[in-house]
């Protein structure tokens, strides 16, 4: 039984906190066409929302009356672009060399652009700018994916060192916040925000891959996440699915100590949490170095003391 399954009945107390960490599998090179680490980046927390958002887009498209033909065509082209990028990423996810497959050449038949939006410029410039922004983002990420496919090998999965590789920015949502919307624009905005949300889920596997492969020694770029942690292991919710019994390297940044501690870890339990619609993964630390384990215990105790003092005001 995992030590995470029975509350605090085990030797070490568990703590919920936001903390920066980095986890990467111990991998064997050269066993697949393209380097893969064994993590499933297309688990249920990705695939199910993508399907739901596609259906939502179709429902919202039915509410559009103005520029109906142009918007319908644009949504169709958007969905095709998303599907093509996700299919390429699914193959990368399992270590298949996309560029060696015949259908890789078929990408040239689709230019990832919205073919009819130029006609909107004179009719509704704001809508045109929003769609142009979405098109630009699709083109940018497609070029990143194409670069990854072209430059990768059985011993290396290549990602450019750009901020967009590690973080998706909701540009349209930010533009909408700065705009005084008319009633006529509201159905378009609702549709565009859903399309942007779908794009963010479609690209989440790429961003997660890039973060896992590029940020191993950049603690300042690790994003704080809520985890459940003790001196003998940790667990968290995420879209990644780690196979049971996978061996991993775990790095944890203790911010108040300005220290990175490292552990050999193993996945002891993984399951899909229906309530959170996320993957829950639990790790044990195996034969931790006494100094790192002691530092972690001290950090957890300091954090608990600070929380208690804060609660008393």
- In tens, the pLDDT along 123-162 reads 999 999 999 999 999 999 999 999 999 999 999 999 999 9
Please indicate, yes or no, if residue 9 is contained in any of the structural domains: no
142 in the same domain as 203: yes
* Cβ neighbours for 101, distance < 8 A, ≥ 6 positions apart: 91
Residues 126 and 179 in one domain: yes
| CA 248/CA 175 separation, integer angstroms | 41
Q: Kindly report whether the global pTM for this prediction surpasses the value 0.85.
A: yes
**Three-state DSSP state, 234:** strand
Query: Is 299 found in the same domain as 196?
Result: no
Residue 307 lies in a domain: yes
Closest CA to 76 of 63, 57, 59: 57
> What per-residue confidence (pLDDT) applies to 3?
47
CATH number of the domain to which 263 belongs: 2.40.10.220
Helices within the chain (DSSP H only): 44-61, 68-93, 125-151, 171-177, 186-214, 290-311
Residue 275 corresponds to which tokens in the numbers above? 């309530």
Q: Are residues 245 and 178 in the same domain?
A: no
Residues 184 and 237 in one domain: no
Same domain, 208 and 255: no
Do 83 and 209 belong together in one domain? Answer: yes
Q: How far is CA 229 from CA 18, 233, 246, 278, 305, in A?
A: 10, 6, 19, 18, 16
Please tell me what DSSP assigns to residue 11: S
d(CA 80, CA 86): 10
The span from the CA of 297 to the CA of 313, in Å, is 25
**DSSP codes of every residue in 27-67:** --TTSSSS---S-BSS-HHHHHHHHHHHHHHHHHHTT--TT
Residues 154, 241 within the same domain = no
Both 181 and 81 in one domain: the answer is: yes
**How many domains is the chain built from?**
2
- Give the residue ranges of the chain where pLDDT is below 70: 1-11, 30, 310-313
Are 209 and 246 members of one domain? no
Instruction: Kindly state whether residues 127 and 274 are assigned to the same domain.
Output: no
pLDDT digits (tens, 9 = 90+) for 15-55: 999 999 999 999 877 678 999 999 999 999 999 999 999 99
Tell me, yes or no, whether 203 and 55 share the same domain. Answer: yes
Domain range for 96: 44-214
């Amino acid at each position: 039984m995992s030590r995470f399954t029975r509350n605090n009945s085990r030797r070490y107390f568990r703590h919920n906190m936001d903390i920066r960490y980095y986890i990467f599998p111990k991998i064997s090179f050269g066993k697949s066409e393209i380097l893969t680490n064994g993590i499933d980046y297309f688990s249920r927390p990705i695939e199910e929302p993508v399907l739901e958002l596609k259906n939502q887009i179709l429902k919202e498209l039915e509410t559009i009356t103005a520029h109906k033909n142009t918007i319908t065509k644009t949504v169709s082209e958007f969905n095709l672009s998303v599907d093509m990028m996700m299919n390429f990423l699914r193959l990368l996810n399992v270590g298949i060399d996309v560029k060696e497959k015949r259908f890789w050449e078929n990408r040239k038949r689709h230019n990832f652009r919205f073919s009819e939006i130029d006609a909107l410029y004179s009719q509704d410039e704001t809508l045109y700018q929003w769609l142009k922004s979405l098109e630009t983002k699709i083109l940018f990420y497609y070029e990143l994916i194409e670069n990854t496919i072209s430059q990768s090998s059985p011993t290396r999965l290549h990602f450019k060192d750009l901020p967009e590789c590690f973080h998706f920015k909701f540009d349209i949502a930010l533009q909408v916040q700065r705009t005084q919307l008319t009633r006529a624009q509201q159905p378009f905005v609702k549709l565009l925000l859903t399309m942007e949300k779908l794009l963010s889920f479609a690209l989440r596997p790429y961003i997660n891959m890039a973060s896992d492969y590029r940020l191993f020694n950049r603690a300042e770029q690790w994003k704080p996440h809520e985890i459940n942690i003790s001196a003998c292991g940790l667990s968290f919710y995420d879209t990644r699915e780690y196979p049971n019994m996978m061996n991993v390297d775990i790095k944890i940044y203790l911010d108040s100590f300005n220290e990175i501690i490292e552990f050999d870890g193993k996945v002891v339990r993984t399951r899909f949490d229906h309530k959170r619609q996320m993957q829950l993964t639990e790790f044990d630390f195996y034969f931790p170095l006494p100094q790192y384990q002691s530092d972690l215990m001290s950090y957890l105790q300091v954090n608990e003391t600070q929380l208690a003092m804060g609660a008393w005001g």
